[in-house]
Chain A
Amino acid sequence: MGLFLIAAGLSLIFGVTRIVNFAHGSFYMLAAYLTYTLTAALPLGPASFYVAVLLAALATGLVGFLVEVGLLRRLYRAPELYQLLATFALVLVVSDVVAFVWGRENKTGPSAPGLAGSARILGQLFPSYDLALIGVGLVVAVALWWVFQRTRWGVLIRAATQDREMVAVLGVDQRRLFTSVFVLGSALAGLGGALQVPRQALTNVMDTTIITEAFVVVVIGGMGSLPGALLAAMLIGVVDAFGVLWLPQLSLVMTFVVMAIVLIVRPWGLLGRPETQARSAAGAGAGGERALGWRWAAAALVVLVVLPPWLPRFWVLVLVEILVFALFAGSLHLLMGTGGMVSFGHAVTFGLGAYAAALLVQAARAPMLPAFIAAPLAAALGAALIGFFAVRLTSIYFAMLTLAFCQIAYAIVHQWYDVTGGDNGLLGVWPPRWLADPLRYYYFALAACGAGLAALAAIGRAPFGLTLRAIRDHARRAEASGVDVRRHQWVAFVVAGFLGGLAGATFVFLKGSVFPNSLTVAMSVQPLVMVLLGGVGALAGAPIGAALYTLLDTVVTRYTEYWQFVVGVILLVLVVAFPRGIVGMLERRGG
């Protein structure tokens, strides 16, 4: 039921404002910690806990208000995805604020006074608190239903969920609508978090643990649909609770398998509706995509060839990492920038490439070069399979289906100990002696990743890239002019998979080992952040974003364990200052 509350808030916010709010889990975590502290501080005896829950929910609503008015409101004119970057930065900041204020140790919160026991139903003991939670969830669901059906504000919300441009045209003040929805959504996340305190330990990673699951619920239910969220939350609750008992090997992915099946059968979720706006979620608003001129590229190449021998060894290795992420982000740019398809599961290509290379070297005893060449092919093959299903979907549903496949791949490498080594990974994947020197490996990586990026630039200008752009900007018109939309998107997906795999293979020989971490959500979000930071409007944004993010991360991490806070704040400043990414700013300067 806690899941319903947080998912309802998330669904509401997305439905109206189209913000993919990564920070929703952070509000949930914040409320849990606030409840912990308030319960101890309030002098109300047994009532303290319940008052603390309400106060925490209200406080989270207030934080939501500040975030919407102070930050997100500045970004509504930017391409929609930049709000995603902003909420990602918020996740980093809130995470470290919590670590700083409450410490990193796990905490056990208070129990709910009066509800610590159990009730016997059908011979089984059910904790009273869980039963009470179900009650609270139902009350909130009914209350929301009443608000949406019976009040003017609720009607406006429903209207805005279906067609917000139309609501705006009718003269409704969007600002107030957006703010109020964001506040309500945040408060619901807060309530969900506060009510979890008696059932769960408080940890610094509560936010990321819950957010993926909340998105899954929202997407299964149908974005913007509250009854859908309720239905999906119950479905996931049942799957989570009992599925793991029947098929423990699948416990990591059970919910994602359910989501994948639902999305393949019903591309808009159980109770969702097809979107009225034909534009994709990326709606990159990129307009005329202007690559930074070839002069810049040539200059960068000269620097990259000439400079490294004079750099300290470590910075040469950092440069390799930047090259890897430049290609990884570039391959994602083909999907999200050129193609308007935002993937939340791009790590799957990286991970497949890395694992394929490692397995060939480790298990098949293949030399490095054949493994290095075969790895991207394996990734492309995986992408072909995933893309076959994914390109049937659009916007957030596309994103979430890619995420589901990435999670499934993660579960496979994580559980298949005999082949992948499970969570202990594959070790000893080093380049041969002639390539072991960091500088030599750097030039090798430069050749591989440079070639990949050059291919991406060529694709962007070729008829294929132009057609992709046409599809992004208006899929129906493109279709009407005889373009096979899905086939083009599928091919783009496979190409992006190939190049993502190339990045993964380059990475694994840099690190010498590969672990399931390379297939996590965090790994998928990283290139997304880089592309947005650099600017989604041009391919050059990807390498620029990759370089900026990697350098920032490398330098900040050395000086503080609160690197998330520092990086988050810098990202926030950059997002507000350059709401179209670095490249967007350069272009405007350039006229």
Chain B
Amino acid sequence: MNRTGIVATLAGLLLLSLTASAAAQAPIKIGEINSFSGIGAPFTGPYKQAVEMAVEEVNAKGGVLGRKVEVLFRDDKGQPAEAVKQAQELVSGEKVTLISGTFLSNVGLAVSDWAKQNQTLFVAAEPLTEAITWSKGHDHVFRVRPNTYEQGRMLAEKAGKMKYTKWATIGPNYEYGKRAWETFRDRLKQLKPDVQVVGEHWPTLGKLEAGPFVTAILNQNPDALYVSLFGSDWLAFVREAQKRGLFQKTFVVGILLGEPEYIDPLKTEAPEGMLVTGYPWYDIDIAAHKDFVARFTKKYDHNPVLGSLVGYITYLSIFEAIRKANSTDTDKLTAAFRGLKVETPIGPISYRASDGQSTMGAWVGTTRVDARRGVGIMVNHEYVPGERVLPSDDEVKKMRSGN
């Protein structure tokens, strides 16, 4: 074929594809950036599955605004710079309506800042840092999961009613670990002024040599220990703590540690009697939620984890916002997200107009080993909605003013 021939064929193909896409309604494209490989990867698989389930379900019902929804998944490899690169590609190349996702706090912040600069809507699913909606908050970012502050406070409300006064803490030397402790400690001291802190331990994230820390904590002889370790550090810590009898001597409060992500890998070694925040998917008495668990388990042959619930709710929220805006225009969507009400498997939640934080809450309960299933579970749990622990609009305004 000569050169003119090639050009003519290409032009023909282009025309064909244009007319084809005009005939069928083009799908609504959503860009999903998450750590599918790298440091966040242990937790993103079940999240992605729930997102796919949400999209399949909505498309089976005819999509949103009569258009199919298509999610483009991109891997940030656990690196903020990579996430920004994916955001650029999704928005400028794929022309997605909005960006959603992220697990790690620093990745979430990088994407959020990019979204602010480029006037793109960003729905942060899982990152926990308060900075996303508060000190670094802006008009184009919304967050689904209850943040570090909220969860620390939920635990403090309970621990403040208990007898323990001598406290120690151990957590990763990251912003998350420090903030998880500070929010808990400050509220605890308000509720119980005689609280005394006897030790703070900040091992390196992902590199915990647990033995010496357990010994040091035991030597400080606290009544109670606040733990913000997670992932592999938490698993290693449990092993060493049990060998040295820490859980028998000390009451333990663990932020996030009731989430299946962190308690399931321990199987029957899960420590009993801890006060935790988490997600007791096996024991939530709401019909819609039972149905969600049944659908998820049937589809993927394993139980959902908190990430799955967050992923599902994130996309339900996005669909609802598009419906409310009746458009995929960014300005209309951000306006729709302010005060957006969403019916979720765990009941209604809304997105606060003042900071874009959702009112999704968390469950606070006590751990026990379920011998039948061979894993740790939460018992005597209570759902604490976000409204109960979130700061008021005035306080939020103050926190966002430095921006």
Contacts and interface: CB of A to CB of B under 8 A. Distances in A.
A198 interface: yes
B110 A251 contact: no
B85 A317 contact: yes
Contacts of B173: 248, 251-252, 414-415
Interface string A202-228: 111100010000000000000000000
Contact of B117 (A204, A430, A554): A430
Interface residues of A, number: 66
Given A252-B173, A427-B109, 20 more contacts: A96-B37, A108-B239, A108-B267, A117-B243, A118-B243, A124-B215, A199-B239, A204-B41, A242-B212, A245-B216, A248-B173, A248-B201, A317-B92, A417-B175, A424-B105, A424-B129, A427-B110, A511-B80, A511-B85, A557-B74
Given A116-B243, A127-B244, A561-B75, A204 B211 contact: no
Interface stretch (A98-106, A159-167, A533-541): A98-106
A557 B239 CA distance: 36
Contacts of B265: 105-108, 201
Nearest to B89: A314
Contact of B266 (A108, A129, A314): A108
A127 B236 CA distance: 13
A125 interface: yes
B209 interface: yes
Interface string B17-37: 000000000000000000011
B294 interface: no
Interface stretch (A15-23, A512-520, A582-590): A512-520
B88 interface: yes
Interface in B47-104: 74-75, 77, 79-82, 84-85, 88-89, 92-93
A198 B239 contact: yes
A511 B201 contact: no
Nearest to B216: A245
B196 interface: no
A513 to B, nearest CB: 5
Contact of A125 (B114, B202, B232, B244): B244
Given A199-B239, A248-B173, A251-B203, A425 B267 contact: no
Given A99-B37, A314-B88, A512-B114, A203 B232 contact: yes
Contacts of B93: 312-314
B206 interface: yes
Contacts of B42: 104-106, 203-204
Contact of B41 (A104, A108, A558): A104
A127 B212 CA distance: 11
Interface of A: 96, 99, 103-108, 111, 116-118, 124-125, 127, 129-130, 198-205, 209, 240-242, 244-245, 248-249, 251-252, 312-314, 317-318, 321, 414-415, 417, 422-425, 427-428, 430, 438, 507, 511-513, 515, 517-518, 554, 557-558, 561-564
A480 to B, nearest CB: 46
Contacts of B269: 108
A201 B204 contact: no
Nearest to B242: A116
Main secondary structure of the interface of B (DSSP, over half): helix
A118 B239 CA distance: 12
Interface in B186-207: 200-204, 206-207
A513 B206 contact: no
Q: Of residues B85, B201, B243, which shows the largest number of chain A Cβ atoms within 10 Å of its Cβ?
A: B243
B213 interface: yes
Contact of A106 (B36, B207, B231): B231
B84 to A, nearest CB: 5
A560 B266 CA distance: 30
B240 A127 contact: yes
B245 A513 contact: no
Interface in B243-284: 243-245, 265-267, 269
Given A201-B236, A241-B209, A423-B174, A513 B109 contact: yes
25 contacts: A104-B42, A106-B235, A108-B239, A111-B239, A116-B243, A124-B215, A198-B239, A201-B235, A203-B232, A205-B39, A240-B209, A244-B204, A249-B202, A252-B204, A312-B92, A313-B92, A314-B88, A317-B85, A321-B85, A424-B105, A425-B110, A430-B117, A438-B92, A512-B117, A513-B84
A515 B80 contact: yes
A153 B216 CA distance: 46
B45 interface: yes
Contacts of B114: 511-513
Contact of A245 (B105, B174, B201, B239): B201
B211 A424 contact: no
B106 interface: yes
A245 B212 contact: yes
B243 A127 contact: yes
B207 A209 contact: yes
A438 B245 CA distance: 59
